[in-house]
């Protein structure tokens, strides 16, 4: 008798990508499977049943796929946070540290109204740098973050602790050991 599949079962691991020693957790296999994708979206939504959420914010790029589907299910708007220079309108920016250097993300300056309840989503929580930058952008616009939702948490990299240290509620569907 076979056991019921979990979201984690749909995620493949690619060894030594993009660099030697990295275990890349590839969610494209999850997205490509209709049952797996629906399971992930349903489970990401579950903790927020009955919560007021005005908009879903997705982090580039896989957060757009998840965020769009979640926003659709909630019948709310979707807002992208993108890499610098990718949004056409007036934006605000936030820099953050990478393993080697820095990066900048942006959001349209009119994307969130003060007081709006926001759900931040992405596929993976590693060090928390990108998510923390997104949180700062949302807060600068006056948005109130209800929670941060991810498919995967890599607990050894400490991202959950970073976000919880910022006062955030964090949910992840599964965890993987290692980088």
Query: For the chain, what is the total number of helices (H) and then of strands (E)?
Result: 5, 9
Q: Is residue 45 part of a domain?
A: no
Q: Is residue 22 part of a domain?
A: no
CA-CA distance, 178 to 176, in Å (whole number)? 7
CA-CA distance, 7 to 29, in Å (whole number)? 10
Q: Is residue 41 part of a domain?
A: no
pLDDT of 40: 98
pLDDT of 101: 79
Q: Is residue 163 part of a domain?
A: yes
Q: Which tokens go with 45?
A: 């939504």
pLDDT of 122: 98
CA angle in degrees (0–180, nearest 5) for 131-133-139: 100
Decide if 20 is catalytic: no
The answer to whether 53 and 114 are in contact (CB under 8 A) is no
CA pseudo-torsion sign 10, 33, 74, 135: positive
Decide if 38 is catalytic: no
What CATH number did the domain enclosing 137 receive?
A: 3.40.50.2020
Q: Which entry of 20, 35, 51, 99 is annotated as an active-site residue?
A: 99
Q: Is residue 99 part of a domain?
A: yes
Q: Which entry of 62, 82, 116, 160 is annotated as an active-site residue?
A: 62
Instruction: Tell me the average pLDDT across 124-129.
Output: 95
Q: Is residue 135 part of a domain?
A: yes
Using pLDDT thresholds of 50, 70 and 90, give the confidence band for residue 3: confident
Backbone angles phi, psi at 132, to 5 degrees: -65, -40
- Residue 149's domain comprises 50-175
62-101 pLDDT tens trace: 999 999 999 999 999 999 999 999 999 999 999 998 767 7
CA-CA distance, 162 to 26, in Å (whole number)? 23
From the number of C-beta atoms within 10 Å of its C-beta (0-12, 13-18, 19+), residue 140 rates as middle
Instruction: Tell me the average pLDDT across 91-114.
Output: 93
13-71 pLDDT tens trace: 999 998 898 899 999 999 999 999 999 999 999 999 999 999 999 999 999 999 999 99
* Number of independent structural domains in the chain: 1
Rg over alpha carbons for the chain, rounded to the nearest Å, is 16
130-177 pLDDT tens trace: 999 999 999 999 999 999 999 999 999 999 999 999 999 999 999 998
Q: Is residue 141 part of a domain?
A: yes
H or E element that contains 65: helix 62-74
Report the half-sphere exposure of 42 (CA within 13 A, side-chain side): 8
pLDDT of 179: 61
Using pLDDT thresholds of 50, 70 and 90, give the confidence band for residue 1: low
CA-CA distance, 75 to 87, in Å (whole number)? 23
CA pseudo-torsion sign 56, 57, 62, 65: positive
Q: Is residue 17 part of a domain?
A: no
């Amino acid at each position: 008798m076979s056991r019921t599949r979990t979201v984690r079962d749909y995620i493949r691991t690619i060894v030594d990508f993009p660099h030697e020693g990295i275990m890349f957790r590839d969610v494209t296999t999850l997205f490509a499977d209709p049952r797996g994708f629906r399971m992930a979206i349903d489970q990401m939504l579950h903790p927020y049943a009955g919560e007021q959420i005005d908009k879903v914010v997705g982090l580039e790029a896989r957060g757009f796929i998840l965020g769009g589907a979640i926003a659709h299910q909630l019948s709310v708007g979707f807002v992208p946070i993108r890499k610098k220079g990718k949004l056409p309108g007036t934006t605000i920016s936030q820099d953050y540290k990478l393993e080697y250097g820095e990066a900048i993300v942006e959001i349209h300056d009119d994307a969130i109204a003060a007081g709006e309840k926001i759900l931040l989503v992405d596929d993976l929580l590693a060090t928390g740098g990108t998510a923390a930058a997104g949180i700062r952008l949302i807060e600068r616009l006056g948005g109130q973050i209800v929670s941060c939702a991810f498919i995967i948490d890599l607990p050894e990299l400490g991202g959950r602790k970073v976000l919880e240290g910022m006062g955030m509620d964090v949910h992840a569907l599964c965890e993987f050991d290692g980088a």
